[in-house]
Amino acid sequence: MKKVCVAVSGINAVDNPGPGIGVIRSLKEDSVLEIEAIGLAYDAMEPGIYMDWLVDRVFILPYPSGDKEGFLNRLLYVKKAANIDIVIPTLDAEMPVYIKAADYLQSMGIKTFLPTKSQFELRGKTKLTEVANKIDLKIPETRIVTSYEDLVKALNDIGLPVMVKGLYYKAYRAYTYQEATGYFNKIVAEWGYPVIIQQVVSGEEMNVIGVGDGTGGSLGLVAIKKLWITSLGKIWTGVTVKNEALLNAASNFVKEFKWRGAFELECIVSKDDIYLIEINPRFPAWVYFATGVGINLPARLLKAALGLPVEGKNEYSAGKLYVRYTYDIVTDMSIFQSIVTKGEC
């Protein structure tokens, strides 16, 4: 088979890891695909840059908060320099630019496999109710606040503790009014209004990841439960589960919204109720877990994007364990030097 050159972002395998390394590792383990992996990084310190056994070449991109034209010009430069066939973005902040430019990129010979704009918008925390209703999930009591008065009222209505969240990013648990006010101010300062105040639901934290084919079909689903998380809330150990209600909800999600591309549903299972907490329109950082239990979602996504046949196996065993660990690389400064002076290596 012809070698496929894939650009993947999010190779920041740090304490708040991006999904890129898990995606690349999955792609490279596929038995059919032959992969050249191009890492797209935003900082010379992203560890993926130095993981040469997985990442073949690296290019620095300008931040997606800059102008769109500059961002796309840089991608076209990467296309020219490394001849990439497809790009798999994995970070929240860059999804809008890729989604908006998907047709343009396609015309320039760069494939993508992404949700549509309206699918992408479903992740907005103000839209969660709509999604949850359609797929028979519950959502925790939620208030959208834009002032200190609103905040106090929301805290009185919901009762402590609460989750204080930005519209797309950041989530903090607050046990007191003071804490809630502090997080509220922090989110407003960084991301602006509105802020979301949400009831804390107790139960088992479970997540499902999958890939939708864009016509209502699912290309594979895997559900897990987080066993141990870091102080940043990132999974460190987890276990696969087969919660039928949860998997059905995910497959209804794909069917109902004709979801295209990768996604993750974050849920809390409390007795017979399942609460939808968040929709992520991309792979999570633990995506390799699915690959490890036989459902290689990144490879399936890539095959779907390239129009190749996708394997139909959807069985995985419950009770498989996921363990993250740390590892060290010692290298000299040449790669670093090249990245900071040339923006690539």
Partner 1 sequence: MDKLARLAISEEGFIFDPVSGNSFTTNKTGLFNLKALKEGKGEEEIVQALTEKYETTKEGAEKDVTDFIEQLRYYRLI
Partner 2 sequence: MKESYEKPVILKLQMGLMNKFGASYLKRTRTEIDGVPVNKLIEEFGSPLFVFSEKRLRRKYKEIYNAFATRYPNVQFSWSYKTNYLNAICAILQQEGEIAEGVSEFEYEKARRLGIEGRDIIFNGPYKPSHILEKAIREQAIINIDHFEEIYDLEEIADKLGQKVKVGIRLNMDTGITPQWSRFGFNLETGQALDAVKRIAYSKKLILNGLHCHIGTFILEPRAYAQEVEKMVKFAYQIEDEFGFKIEYLDIGGGFPSQNRLKGIYLPPELAVPSIEEFAEAICDTLLRSLRPNDFPELILETGRVIVDEAGYLISTVHAAKRLPDGTKAYVIDAGVNLLFTSFWYKFNIELDREVQGVFEPCVIYGPLCMNIDVIDEHTQLPPLPRGTRLIISPVGAYNVTQWMQFISYRPFVVLINSEGKIEVIREAETLEDVVRKEKLPARLKLVQ
| Site residues, partner 2 (CB under 8 A) | 42-45, 60-71, 73-74, 93, 96-97, 100, 126, 144-147, 191-194, 339-343
Cβ distance to partner 2 smaller for residue 52 or 92: 92
Nearer to partner 1, 161 or 343 (CB): 343
Contacts 24+ apart (CB under 8 A), 50-58: 50/329, 50/331, 50/335, 51/11, 51/13, 51/21, 51/329, 54/21, 54/24, 54/25, 54/28, 55/11, 55/21, 55/24, 57/82, 57/344, 57/345, 58/11, 58/339, 58/344, 58/345
Q: How far is the CB of 58 from partner 1 (least distance, A)?
A: 16
Q: In the complex with partner 1, which residue's Cβ is closer, 181 or 338?
A: 338
- CB 50 to partner 1: min, Å: 15
Residues facing residue 279 across a β-bridge: 265
- Would you count residue 337 as binding partner 1 (CB under 8 A)? yes
One-letter amino acid for residue 161 of the chain: P
Sign of CA dihedral 231, 234, 240, 246: positive
Q: Which option in partner 1, partner 2, none does residue 146 bind, with CB closer than 5 to 8 A by kind?
A: partner 2
Treating both helix axes as pointing N-terminal to C-terminal, what angle do 68-82 and 95-107 enclose, rounded to 10 degrees?
A: 50
330 binds partner 1 (CB under 8 A): no
Minimal distance, residue 287 CB to partner 2, in Å: 24
The interface partner of residue 343, options being partner 1, partner 2, none and the CB cut-off 5 to 8 Å by kind, is partner 2
Any idea what DSSP says for residue 125?
T
What gap in Å lies between CA 184 and CA 121, rounded to an integer? 23
Encoding tokens for residue 91? 């970070």
Q: Which of residues 119-138 bind partner 1 (CB under 8 A)?
A: none
SS3 191: helix
> What is the closest distance, in whole angstroms, from the C-beta atom of residue 337 to partner 1 in the complex?
4
Nearest approach, Cβ of residue 339 and partner 1 (Å): 10
Which residue stretch of 99-107, 212-220, 288-296, 331-339 sits at the interface with partner 1 (rule: CB under 8 A)? 331-339
User: Which span sits near partner 1 by CB under 8 A: 67-75, 109-117, 220-228, 334-342?
Assistant: 334-342
Q: Please identify which residue in 71, 333, 343, 345 interacts with partner 1, judged by CB under 8 A.
A: 333
Tell me the HSE value of 244 on the side-chain side, using a 13 A CA sphere. Answer: 0
Residue 47 DSSP code: G
Least CB distance from residue 342 to partner 1, whole Å? 7
Token pair for residue 254?
A: 């794909």
Please give the Cα distance from 236 to 288 (Å, whole number): 13
Burial class (CB in 10 A: 0-12, 13-18, 19+), 190: exposed
Residue in 129, 176, 230, 341 binding partner 1, rule: CB under 8 A: 341
Q: Does 227 interact with partner 1 (rule: CB under 8 A)? A: no
Q: Is 335 in the site for partner 1 (CB under 8 A)?
A: no
Nearest distance from C-beta of residue 343 to partner 1, angstroms? 11
- Among partner 1, partner 2, none, residue 88 binds (CB under 5-8 Å by kind): none
DSSP type of residue 138: B
Judged by the rule CB under 8 A, the positions of this chain that interact with partner 1 are 333, 336-338, 340-342
